[in-house]
Each structure stands twice: as structure tokens, then as C-alpha cells.
Amino acid sequence: MGKINKIKITLVWVLPAVLLIATWVIYGCYYESNDDVAISQVIRGETAIAPVYSLHLYFHGFSAILASLYQIMPSFPWYGILLYLLLYSSLILVHQILYEALEYKMSLTHLCLCLVLLYWFTWQETALLMNYTRIPILLSGVGILYATKQRTCLRSFSIGVAVAFLGWCIRPSTALLGLLVAAPGAWWLARYKALLPVIGTGVLMLTAIWVLSVTYSPEENRYRHIDIGNAYYLDYGLYQHKRNTTEDNLGIKSVDNWAFGDSTVVNEKLFNEKFYFDKYLFLRQTAPDKVISSYRLLRRYCLHLVLFPVIVSILVFTRIDAKAKEFLLTQVGFALLLLSLSAVFKLPLRLASPLCSLWVLCVLLYIVNYSPWLFKLKSVWQWGLCIAVLSYAPVVWQQSREYRQKRLENEAYLRQVYLVAKHRTLVSGGIERAYQYLSPFSTYELSDLPVLTLMGWLTLEPSLSDLRQHMTGTRDFENSILRLANKPNTLWIMHEPFASFIESYTQMHRPTAKNALSLELKRSLSTNPQFAKVYSGKVINK
């Protein structure tokens, strides 16, 4: 093997692994939200009768692979390992693209430093704070850049498109977003020749979405429609609601409490008839509030990612030409995209960080191809990068310590949950609050028996009705709760407001019914009042 090949393998294949491992050793790795642990529990079969092979809306194909792996080794963290392998794959393509673009334009030392710094300021944040939503953006964006760069080699081109489509498999909508952000970078790599891979991959993704939509079962269609309505109301704040009858009030209260398990109460009819978009409230209050919130998030977590394109734009403006005008227009376009996402939907860190990271990569590709003179400003880069590293390093360290402290607290709480729930039927209504900041490389169990979850967006998961049937002999949501209350070995661990809601639900639902649920607080499992507490349940007369 020649010296050049050894260097390339080291920089493209070995260096990404070293950087990811360094992040894990120095800072640790954490889940950004409770979604990932909850998803892994469904796939693993902890909150279902058996491992679930299809999540319907997300992880197309991947869920079947993961479920099969969990059948073989249930306690191994397959889900977290998969996410980091995909992150590693995206880094390999990034290093391959930059190695080929820069190997003759700078020394080996400077090239290696460039790759390390790019990771430090961009991909590291995802390695530190993982969420499944981040991966599709990076995979689809980097995949299309690689396919464009390698368009003359059918094998490499196919790999790039396949990587982009893997992002689609995890979450189609965010993969399309990553493709959109990476399109200017592909244009700067190949101009008009980039149209085929970008448009072709976009058409492929949209066609796949259409095929999915026309093949959904009625149950999957309900899942999708309610998931969208729930996102518009609870996540994006776009919907308002109106109350008319007791039944409507119960449906709205169920949505407010993230309780989607009863299809007689929470269904498409509820969202179609009782939720609406108030454009005046949106323009007057909702949009401005969300934009301000997104600005604060970008300022706190992504300032370095925002400043880099801004500084480059200022430098490019000093030598204005046709290509520079094009570059500046795309900067405006990206800023408008962030503004639109902030105002219409929302811009959480799990979207902002990978989008800005991908954009920094695109800006770097523009410099390489159209403004190489910027590399000659050595003193500017040296001082700028020194200031950025010295100012950013303490921030990352402080954040990682905060994440670690929260992880330790959450893990201690979950150990207490397992101790009291072992060998018992556990009904959960808010334990998921302790899933945030947990380790992707650990598997967390709540009980050695299947757990019935009443709260969270995954209560839309169709497999939960099968679990209710298995536990109680009925799929009916209310009847299954009442039957569980009559079982002596049932343990209820609830967030206090949710416990109050579930009691009122059994009082309000089916007013002519004779029985309702009563929950009595027994004890706390942590000094943190935000954690769910232990209750005992019994059936009472209305």
C-alpha cells in the first residue's frame, strides 16, 4: 500500500472514529430528548408484547433490523450503536469530499487540522447530544454532496445516493430538509451537473413518500393524521382549539396531556372539527415568540456556526463578482429558511445544529472552489480560530458536565423504578421525563415484564392495543385501565398532573358507566418533584 493511500485511509476512515471516541471519552454522549429511549423501548418490545418490526412513520427498514437484533441480544444498545454508526458514515463522506478537494491546496498538517476543526465546531455537537432527527439531515445532505462529487464514478455515485436515502428511511421530512440545505453546496461542486443527483434524489424521496401514503392501512393513516395534528398543536403552536361538549373537552384534555391511546376520544374527527388555525394570533403572537426563542437558542448553542458564514460573507463581499453575488444570495436564502422554520414550525437544537453544521460544510466547499484566496489570510484564520476554540471549549465542557449530572440523576431514578416494578405489571404515565440525557450506549429497563405506557406521542403506536389485549383481555382503553386497577400486582407510576387527568378521564368518558379509577399517592422515588411518583389504583363507583 502506497504512502498516499495510507494517509488517505488514516484521514478518511481512522480520524472520524478517533474524533468520535475522543468525544465519548472526554465529554460523554447523551440523548437530547426522551424520544430515542422511548423509540428503542418500543422496538425492543419493552412497551409492547414483542419487538416491533415497523414504526410506520419512522425508521423504515431499520426498525425490522433493530427488532431482529434485539431478539438475539435484548440488553445490547443496538439503537444507540446504529445512530453512531450512521454518524460515523456521514463523517467518512465529509472527510472523503474534503480530502479530495484540499489535498493539493494545503499541507498534510493543515488538512488534518482543517478536518479536526470542522468536526470540533460542527459534528461534535451531534456526537455529544444525539437525537434521531439529526441523523437524516446529515446523511441526506452529505450523501448528495458525495454523489455530486463522485458523479463520474457510478459506484461512488450510488453510494452517495444510498446514504442520502438511508436518511430518508429514518425520517423522510428531515431528510428532505437536509437535501434542500445541501443543494447549494452541490451546485458549488459541479454547477449544472449537480442538478441530476440533487433533483433525482429529491424525486426519489418524494416518490417513496407517495408510495408509503397510498399503502398505509386505516390504522396507520390514523397514526399519521393524529401525529401531524398533534405536532401542529403541541409542538408548533399553530392550532387553537374550541370547546363545545363534554366529549370535546375530554378529547382536548387528552391531547393536552399527551394521551392518545383512546381512539374513541382522540381521532381525526377531533382534529378536523375542534382545532383550527388562527392567522391573526399566529402573526401577532405565535410567530414572533417562536422567532425570539429560536434566536436565543442560536445565540447560546450555535453562535460559532452562524458567525462562520457571516464572516466569510463579509470577506467575500470585499471582492464582489458574479460568483460572490451568488454566494451572498444563498446566505440570505439560508437565513430566510431558518427564519421560516422558526416562525412556522420551530427550530429546536436537534434541527438547528445539523442544519447549520451542514451549511458550514457547504460554505467551506464554496471557498475551496471559488474563493481559495481566503486560505491565504493566514493571520485572520489563526487568530479567529484560536479565539473560537478558546471561547467554545469551556462552553462545551460546562454543557457536558450539566448533561452528565442530569444523566446520573435520571439513571438513579430509573434504577428505583426497576426495583419497585420488578415482577409487577407497570403502568407508566410520565416516567419518560427521565429519559432525557441518558446514554446511547446503555439499555434501560423499567421492569422485567411488558410496560403499558399511557403518556407520550408513542401512545399512538398501534402495537399498544395488542399489549392492552394481552394484559387485560380487551383493547378498549378505559376498560383495560379499570381491569388493571383490579389486578393486585399492578403498579402505577405517574406524573402528578397526569394521574389527576387519568382519574378525570374515567369520570368523564362514558358518563353512564358505573365505575371509575381512583389513584392514591404512595411515595416518591426521587427528591426531584418533576419525576413520576408511585400510586396505587382501585376501581370506585361514580
For residue range 288-329, list pLDDT tens digits in order. 999 999 999 999 999 999 999 999 999 999 888 889 999 999
- What is the per-residue pLDDT for 320? 85
Q: Which residue has the cell 423509540?
A: 39
* Residue owning grid cell 400510586: 535
Q: What is the pLDDT of residue 428?
A: 97
Residue 130 CA to its chain's centroid (Å) = 8
CB 171 within 8 A of CB 129: no
What is the pLDDT at residue 67? 97
- The answer on pLDDT for 542 being more than 90 is no
Beta pairing partners, 277: 239
Scanning 191-267, the segments in alpha helix (DSSP H) are 195-215, 218-230, 246-256
Three-state DSSP class for residue 4: helix
Comparing 439 with 218, the larger pLDDT belongs to 439
**Residue 511, pLDDT score:** 86
The HSE-up count of residue 496 (CA atoms within 13 Å, CB side) is: 9
Going by C-alpha positions, the residue among 133, 135, 148 that lies closest to residue 182 is 148
Helix axes 322-344 and 172-190, enclosed angle (nearest 10): 170
What's the whole-model pTM score?
0.96
- Identity of the residue numbered 359: W
- Other beta carbons less than 10 A from residue 234's beta carbon: 13
245 confidence band (pLDDT: 50, 70, 90): low
Q: How confident is the model at residue 380 (pLDDT cuts 50, 70, 90)?
A: confident
Nearby residues of 246 by Cβ (< 8 Å), 6 or more positions away: 508, 511
Under DSSP, is residue 47 helix (H, G, I), strand (E, B) or coil?
coil
- For the cut 60, the answer to whether the pLDDT of residue 1 exceeds it is no
Strands 451-453 and 515-523: unpaired
Which neighbouring-strand residues pair with 425? 490
pLDDT of residue 4 exceeding 70: no
For residues 50 and 86, what is the distance between their CA atoms, to the nearest angstrom? Answer: 26
The answer to whether 259 and 501 have CB atoms below 8 angstroms apart is yes
Q: What per-residue confidence (pLDDT) applies to 528?
A: 94
Written as one string, the DSSP assignment of 355-395 is HHHHHHHHHHHHHHHH-GGGGG-HHHHHHHHHHHHHHHHHH
Residues with Cβ within 8 Å of 162's Cβ and at least 6 positions away in sequence, in order, are 143
Asked whether 471 and 480 are in contact (CB, 8 A), the reply is yes
CA dihedral 114, 87, 440, 77 (to 10 degrees): -140
253-286: burial string, b at 16+ Cβ within 10 Å, e else: bbbebbbbbbbebbbeebbeebbeeeeeebeeeb
Residue 246 has pLDDT above 70, yes or no: no
Nearest to 423 by CA among 452, 454, 443, 450: 450
Residue whose C-alpha cell reads 465542557 in the numeric block? 397
Q: What share of the chain is helix, strand, coil (3-state, %, to 5)?
A: 70, 10, 25
484-533 pLDDT tens trace: 999 989 999 999 999 999 999 999 998 888 899 999 999 999 999 999 99
Residue 453 has pLDDT above 60, yes or no: yes
Cell numbers 369520570 correspond to 507
What pLDDT shows up at residue 287?
96
Cross-strand pairs, 537: 519
pLDDT of residue 212: 93
Q: Tell me what percent of the residues of the chain surpass a pLDDT of 90.
A: 87
- The CA-to-CA distance between both ends of the chain, in Å, stands at 80
Nearest by Cα to 184 from 346, 381, 369: 369
Which residues, including other chains, have CB under 8 Å from residue 219's CB and lie 6 or more apart?
A: 462
DSSP letters for 160-184 = HHHHHHHHHHH-HHHHHHHHHHHHH
Sole residue written with cell 431478539: 71
Place of cell 419512522: 58
pLDDT of res. 247: 64
What is the DSSP code string of 14-26? IHHHHHHHHHHHH
Q: What is the structure's pLDDT at 3?
A: 67
Residue 383, pLDDT score:
87
- On average, the pLDDT of the chain sits at 94
Which pLDDT value is given to residue 86? 98
H runs (alpha helix) in 491-536: 496-508
What span, in angstroms and rounded, lies between the C-alpha atoms of 120 and 106? 20
- pLDDT tens for residues 393-428? 999 999 999 999 999 999 999 999 999 999 999 999
- The closest alpha carbon to 368, from 176, 122, 136, 118, belongs to 118
Find where cell 393486585 sits.
Answer: 488
pLDDT in tens, 119-172: 999 999 999 999 999 999 999 999 999 999 998 999 999 999 999 999 999 999
User: How many Å apart are CA 458 and CA 261, to the nearest integer?
Assistant: 9
- DSSP-derived 3-state class of residue 243: coil
Q: Are 8 and 100 in contact (CB under 8 A)?
A: no
Mean pLDDT over 24-35 rounds to 97
